[in-house]
């Protein structure tokens, strides 16, 4: 007898299987390391920037170091620290050494200026401002010694950073950089400084051009006629005519001051001063620049 076959149940489930749940993302807080800050679990955590107050000590309130020889020996270690707070402290020691123990600091000056440039590029405003203040004290302490061929390149980099910082939008950094640029002018012989500043008159950044023009004007005011002649009156008037057509008023105002000083030098022994000035400009400038130079003097 044939067996009756039972109906086979449907092998497939009647309901759709549940999809595996998607793993949720877990956020892990990772503390970002700054250029001058490295985390080390074996060390006590560094205080956060909110807990730190940096004192900006004026030069006249800085005190001599009790044991400068030992401080110099450990100076570079502090400047190379990954802790930006320690770098600030070491920069203040640089300032004290520059003001009171400059002969001990001089052998380290090139390395110190490289640290200053690095610190000025740091986004921490406190570190940037402290480095600018240190640069000012170094300029006042060493003056023309900074133009020594062995450290001249380091000085050039430092000068460029100061012009850049004086051109930025952070007011308290900008003002400090302006003070330091003035210290540069006051502490150095005008002629060699003028040769270094001359290259920034054609800088791509108009604010840098303007800051350079102001420093050039301040340097020329210290030179006197003989100094201007040594630099070259023709080169000076050509540079001035270029700045008179600059985009920024600050550069044009500095150029007018320079033009007035050149005019005094050119016409010092001339009876017909306006005529002598016109002849000088027409002889040494493209015709398109002559009217603006004449206007500077005639409007006074």
The residue range of the domain holding 284 is 190-300
Task: Count up the domains in the chain and report the number.
Answer: 2
- Spatial CA neighbour of 134 closest among 171, 167, 105: 105
Tokens 């012009």, located at residue = 163
107 with 212, same domain? no
Handedness of CA 135, 141, 146, 151 (dihedral sign): negative
Return the pLDDT at 110. Answer: 94
Q: Which residues in the chain come in under a pLDDT of 70?
A: 1-52
Distance, CA of 185 to CA of 196 (rounded, Å):
12
Using alpha carbons, select from 196, 292, 299 the residue that is nearest to residue 238: 292
CATH of the domain at 249: 1.25.10
Residues 182 and 102 in one domain: yes
- Supply the pLDDT for residue 215: 97
- Please answer whether residues 155 and 192 qualify as being in contact, where contact means their C-beta atoms are separated by less than 8 angstroms: no
Predicted local distance difference test score (pLDDT) of residue 35: 44
Is residue 53 in a domain?
Answer: no
Which of 188, 206, 228 delimits the end of a domain?
188
Structure tokens at 92: 């203040």
Q: pLDDT tens, 143-186?
A: 999 988 788 899 999 999 999 999 998 899 999 999 999 999 99
CATH of the domain at 154: 1.25.10.10
> Do residues 165 and 196 share a domain?
no
Domain final residue pick, 188, 209, 225: 188
Last residue of a domain, one of 157, 188, 219: 188
- Give the residue from 235, 227, 226 showing the smallest Cα distance to 189: 227
Residues 133 and 76 in one domain: yes
Closest to 46 (Cα-Cα) out of 75, 78, 80, 84:
84
Regarding whether 104 and 121 lie in a shared domain, the answer is: yes
Q: Is residue 106 part of a domain?
A: yes
């Amino acid at each position: 007898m044939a067996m009756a076959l039972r109906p086979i149940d449907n092998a497939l489930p009647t309901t759709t299987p549940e999809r595996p749940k998607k793993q949720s993302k877990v956020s892990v807080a990772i503390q970002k390391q700054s250029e001058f800050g490295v985390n080390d679990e074996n060390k006590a955590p560094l205080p956060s920037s909110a807990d730190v107050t940096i004192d900006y000590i004026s030069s006249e309130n800085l005190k001599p170091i009790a044991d400068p020889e030992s401080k110099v020996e450990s100076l570079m270690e502090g400047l190379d620290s990954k802790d930006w707070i320690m770098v600030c402290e070491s920069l203040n020691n640089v300032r004290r050494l520059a003001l009171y123990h400059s002969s001990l600091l001089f052998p380290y000056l090139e390395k110190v200026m490289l640290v200053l440039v690095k610190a000025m590029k740091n986004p921490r405003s406190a570190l940037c401002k402290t480095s600018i203040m240190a640069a000012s004290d170094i300029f006042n302490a060493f003056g023309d010694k900074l133009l020594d061929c062995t450290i001249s390149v380091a000085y050039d980099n430092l000068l460029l950073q100061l012009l850049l910082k004086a051109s930025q939008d952070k007011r308290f950094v900008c003002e400090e950089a302006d003070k330091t640029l003035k210290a540069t002018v006051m502490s150095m012989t005008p002629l060699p400084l003028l040769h270094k500043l001359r290259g920034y008159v054609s800088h791509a950044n108009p604010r840098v051009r303007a800051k350079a023009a102001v420093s050039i004007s301040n340097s020329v005011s210290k030179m006197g006629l003989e100094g201007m002649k040594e630099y070259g009156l023709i080169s000076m008037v050509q540079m001035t005519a270029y700045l008179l057509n600059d985009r920024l008023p600050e550069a044009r105002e500095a150029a007018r001051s320079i033009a007035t000083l050149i005019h005094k030098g050119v016409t010092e022994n001339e009876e017909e001063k306006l005529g002598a000035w016109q002849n000088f400009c027409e002889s040494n400038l493209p015709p398109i620049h002559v009217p603006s130079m004449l206007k500077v003097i005639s409007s006074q």
